[in-house]
Every structure is written in C-alpha cells, then in structure tokens.
Amino acid sequence: MKRYRSASHFWDSALNKIFPRRASRSRPDERNTFLSFESSTTSEHTDGFYMYSQALLEQETRRREALVFRQSDSTEASYSSALMAPIPRPALPYTISSPEWNIFSEAVKALEDAIDDDASDWLHSVLSVFSKVYTVAKIIVTILMYYGIEVEDIPDSAPAHIRRAEQIVTSNSITDLIEAVESLYYSVYARLIMEIANVDLSTYFNLELRRTSRKDGFTLPEPDHLLKILAHCKDTLEAPTVCNHVNEDLIKFHQDEFIRRAMERAIGTGFFLDDLLGYRRYTMGIVSDTSSEFRSKWNHDTFLYQIPPEEILTVQSEKYLSFIPKPEAVLSVSGFDLPFIDRDSVDPGHWERELVKDHRQSALAKMEGKGIGDVRRVDERRCPSDYMKERKCICRSSCICSWECTSDPERPCPCADRMMQIMLAKRRKAPGTRDFATRCGSLAKAIFECASLIKRDIDDIEIALELDRAFTLVDSEIEAQRRTPLKTNGLKSSSEDRSFDME
C-alpha cells in the first residue's frame, strides 16, 4: 500500500531545500516558531529593514538637532562664536579722541580682524582725518622753517610724529593709523596755538616796510596775512569732522613742554631789551600789561593757550617780523623734474606768432577786468599746461603777480616753478622718483607760497580755497602711495609726469 506524506512534510522539505544552511543551524523551537506564523508578510527580512530605517531616522533627527546650534560646517570655535552676540563697531565717521574709537576698545580691535572689504568704510574714514591732519602739520612745519623758527626734532615733537605718520601711511592697521594721527594732532595743534599767539602779538607792532619787488623772489607775508593762513589751519583742525572731543590735558602737556624747552634754551643766552627796531621794548609793554588787548584775548578760556614768560613770548614773536625766507627752506626743484621749454629751442617764427596772441589775450583780460591767467584757463586753443611749459602766467586774478603779468604778457611768470610743481602733483598717478615725505614737503611749500601771494584786498575765502587745494593734493599723494606700498621710491613714468594738463 502506497503511503502518502502529509502536507506539513512537503512544506518542511521545501524549506530545507530553500534554506538549507539556515535550517541546519536553527534550533527546533526557532523553526517551530517560524512555522507557526500565519501571515506570510511578516518575516525576519522585514524586521531588519524596519530596524535599519529607524536607525536612519534617529540619525537624521540628531543631525537636525545639531544644526540648531551650529549653522555651518566650520570648526568647534566657529560653533561657539556663532552663539555669541556680535561686537558693535564704532560709529562713523571717525574723529580725533572719539570715545567710540579708543584703540584699546574691543570695537576697534575687532576691526583689525575684519577680512576683505568688511572694514573698508572704517579704514577710509580714518584715512580722511589722517590726510587733513598730516597736511596741516606739513604746512605748519614749513612755515616755521621759512621764518627760521626752531623746530625741535625730539621724540614727542611735531617732526617726530610727522615721520611716524609717513612711515605707516601705507598701513591697513586701523589702530596704528589712529595712534599716529592722534599723536600728531595734539603735537601740532598745541604748537599751532602757540604760534598763532606769537604772530598775533607781532601784529601790534606797526612795521613800515615796503615789500620788495616780485622779481627778487618770494617774500614772506606780513603778520596780518600770515595770521589768516594760520587761522584757517586752526579751523581745519577744529572742524567737527576732524575732532569732536578735544583732550585739553594733552594740549596743556605739549605746551608746557614747549615752554620748558624754550626756557632751557634761553638760559645763558641773555635777553636784551633794546633792539634796532624797538620791537622788544614795545612788546614787553603789551605782554606785561594784564589789561592790554592781547592779554585779555589770550587769557580767555576760549583759547587752549599757556602763556609763556614775557621774555620768551617777546623773542618768539619777534621772528615773525622777517620778510626774507631762510634760503634752505625755500622751494627748490631740479630742472629735470620741471619740464619747461627752452625758448631758444623753439622756432622763432612760431614764438613770435604766439607772442602776438599773448598780447591779444592781455588786451581782452584788461577789458574784462580779469587777469591774463583767467583768460588762458578757458582758452580752447591751447591747454593751460602748454602756457606753463613756456613759463607764461596762468595764475588766477587773486594772485599778486596777476596785474604785472597781464600788463607785460612776455614776462616770465615768477610763480611758474610752484605752479608746475602743483600741476605735476595733480597728474601724478604713481609715486615719483622722490620719497613720499619729500613730495608732500614740496607741495606744502608750494601751497604756502601760493597762499602768501594772494592779494590783500581779496576776500579771506581765497586763502581757504588755496589751502583746501593742498588737502586735495596731499590726499592724492596718499592714495598713490598706498597703491604701491612696497615702493617707497616708486619708478616714475615719463608719460605720467610729463603728459599733464590743468583741470
């Protein structure tokens, strides 16, 4: 009789064939448990996928929680810094001694670590004040040199701070620039107030001396006119855009040191009351009288001024009576740097034709009540630089030379050298063969001479306009120097320095 196998037997055989190893390794109770499941959709495979998916979900959850605390893939230091409140930056614009711009504050220190152009606005704001203070400093030192007034070169003097500013002019360190400009500011401002008082005192003495002819070279301005130049420099330093919080203690310190050194130099020198002009005896009567106009003015709290002893004040003010500049201070530039045309090298016929046109310009200027320079500046036939290369006048009508140059159009303009120097600076796109300090020193001399030669019956605004041109020129020099920080004496391109024109 044929025996039939049960369905369970066939099922068990099938499982053994399909899963031979598993079946051989499984224990009987595990196999019975597996066989007892009624649903074919539930298996060990589906349980494994479920567990795997759960693990992925938990991992994703942990990742999302981490993103709440860190928003980048940076280092752990970046994670902690991202949770910190940002350090506030000082308010713009920068001004001298502003509490927000203290170099030891965290706000200013944070600017040092700024990358790319993140702090460019703050840097440019500091450089703007830096340029103005530096320009005034160069002009003041130039004036003192022209009058033969001693400018001590000691660690805390104006020349020392000027050199420091020139050394770091190409720096991008905001703290270094602030430290340099504020040290320079107080040194120069304190000295400027002292010199303004000296010049003011000299104006009380009526010295009847006629100015020498312009053909004899540059002559120093009389005290009244010099006082206007210095007053504009003072106004520049006191402008709200330059200084809003004056440190009076620093000014007093610098002035006290200046007086102390002056007294040390005076010891052993002797003070003689009588002089050729009678200036000392006259001035001593003013400064010793506490009710005099001078003492009443300078004893006022409006001026941050420490009055020196009477003898020191008299000797210092006496030097401003001079009208002949010290030879070593006068602007001098070699002919190589000033591209004038030699008249002997020009075609005589062409030169004569130009002279005829010069006389026509002279007649036109007289009819219109202008200077010949004003007419040439708007001439469409020739550029002002063409006239300047031939030493022909292009000065404004406010210049002292204007009338003489208009009356005699064939006359070489006595201002040609400094006007050429200014024009070259306006057209210079890169540092020249001379170093930055020398270039700015020459500009300061040229600007001072131009301001000194303004007509006395012209509104004082002309002096301000002339000095404002100095700020523009020196600012351009600073920009040119910063474009080539590695070249203190950059190579000069002949095409840059000799192809120029007047704006």
Q: What is the pLDDT of residues 457-475, one digit of tens each?
A: 888 899 999 899 889 999 9
Span 16-30, average pLDDT: 49
Least confident span in 258-262, 271-275, 452-456: 271-275
**In sequence order, what are the residues at sequence separation of 6 or more whose Cβ sits closer than 8 angstroms to the Cβ of residue 19?**
none
pLDDT of 4 over the 80 cut = no
Beta bridge partners of 454: 399
Q: For residues 313 and 299, is the Cβ–Cβ distance under 8 A?
A: no
Does residue 74 have a pLDDT over 50? Answer: no
CA distance linking residue 364 with residue 409, whole number of Å: 12
pLDDT band at 34 (very low <50, low <70, confident <90, very high): very low
- Residue 257 in this model has a pLDDT that exceeds 90: yes
Coil, helix or strand at residue 243: strand
* CA-CA-CA-CA torsion sign (236, 240, 241, 245): positive
Residue 78 is predicted with a pLDDT of 47
486 has a pLDDT exceeding 90: no
Instruction: Inform me whether the pLDDT recorded for 62 exceeds 80.
Output: no
Of 30 and 254, more confident = 254
- Per-residue pLDDT at 263 exceeds 60: yes
For 382, what's the count of Cα atoms within 13 Å in the CB-facing half-sphere? 16
Residue 26 has pLDDT above 60, yes or no: no
**CA 158 – CA 187 distance, rounded (Å):** 6
pLDDT at 19: 52
3-state secondary structure 5-45: CCHHHHHHHHHHHHCHHHHHHCCHHHHHHHHHCCCCCCCHH
Tell me what the mean pLDDT of segment 383-395 comes to. Answer: 92
Q: What is the mean pLDDT of residues 35-63?
A: 53
Determine the pLDDT at residue 414.
92
Q: How sure is the predictor about 407, in pLDDT bands with cuts at 50, 70 and 90?
A: very high
> Facing residues of 399 across strands?
454
Q: 106: number of CA atoms within 13 Å, CB side?
A: 4
- DSSP assignments along 207-235, one per residue: ---PPPPGGG---PPPHHHHHHHHHHHHH
Instruction: Give the model's pLDDT for residue 186.
Output: 97
pLDDT tier for residue 348 given thresholds of 50, 70 and 90:
confident
* pLDDT confidence of residue 447: 93
What is the structure's pLDDT at 209? 58
Kindly tell me if the per-residue pLDDT of 85 is higher than 90.
no
Tokens of 93: 């614009």
Question: What is the reported pLDDT for 208?
Answer: 65
pLDDT of residue 115: 58
Angle at 386 between CA 382 and CA 392, to 5 degrees: 105
Domain residue spans of the chain: 1-35, 119-321, 335-498
Rounded Cα–Cα distance for residues 194 and 188 (Å): 10
- Per-residue pLDDT, averaged over 476-497, amounts to 60
What is the reported pLDDT for 151? 85
For residue 10, name the pLDDT band (cuts at 50, 70, 90): low
pLDDT for 484: 74
Strand-pairing partners, residue 96, are 243
Residue 320 burial (C-beta neighbours within 10 Å; 0-12, 13-18, 19+)? buried
* pLDDT tens digits along 294-341: 999 998 766 789 899 999 999 999 999 988 898 877 766 554 567 888
| Nearest C-alpha neighbor of 186 from the set 128, 251, 230 | 251
Average per-residue pLDDT for the chain: 80
Residues above pLDDT 70, as percent of the chain: 73
| Whether pLDDT at 55 is above 80 | no
Q: Please tell me the distance from the alpha carbon of residue 348 to that of residue 311, in angstroms, as a whole number.
A: 62
What pLDDT is attached to residue 101? Answer: 94
Phi, psi torsion values for 454, nearest 5 degrees: -75, 140
- Residue 95 clears pLDDT 50, i.e. is over it: yes
**Mean local confidence (pLDDT), 358-370:** 95
Total residue length of the chain: 503
- Judged by DSSP in three states, 415 sits in coil
**What pLDDT digit, counting tens, does each position of 148-179 carry?**
998 887 888 999 999 999 999 999 999 999 99
Residue 270 is predicted with a pLDDT of 66
Residue 42 has pLDDT above 70, yes or no: no
CA 156/CA 180 separation, integer angstroms = 12
Give the mean pLDDT of 113-123: 76
**Among 118-122, 176-180, 370-374, 393-397, whose mean pLDDT is lowest?**
118-122
Q: What is the pLDDT of residues 275-306, one digit of tens each?
A: 767 899 999 999 999 999 999 999 876 678 98
Better-predicted residue by pLDDT, 5 or 138: 138
Q: Which pLDDT band holds residue 91 (cuts at 50, 70, 90)?
A: confident
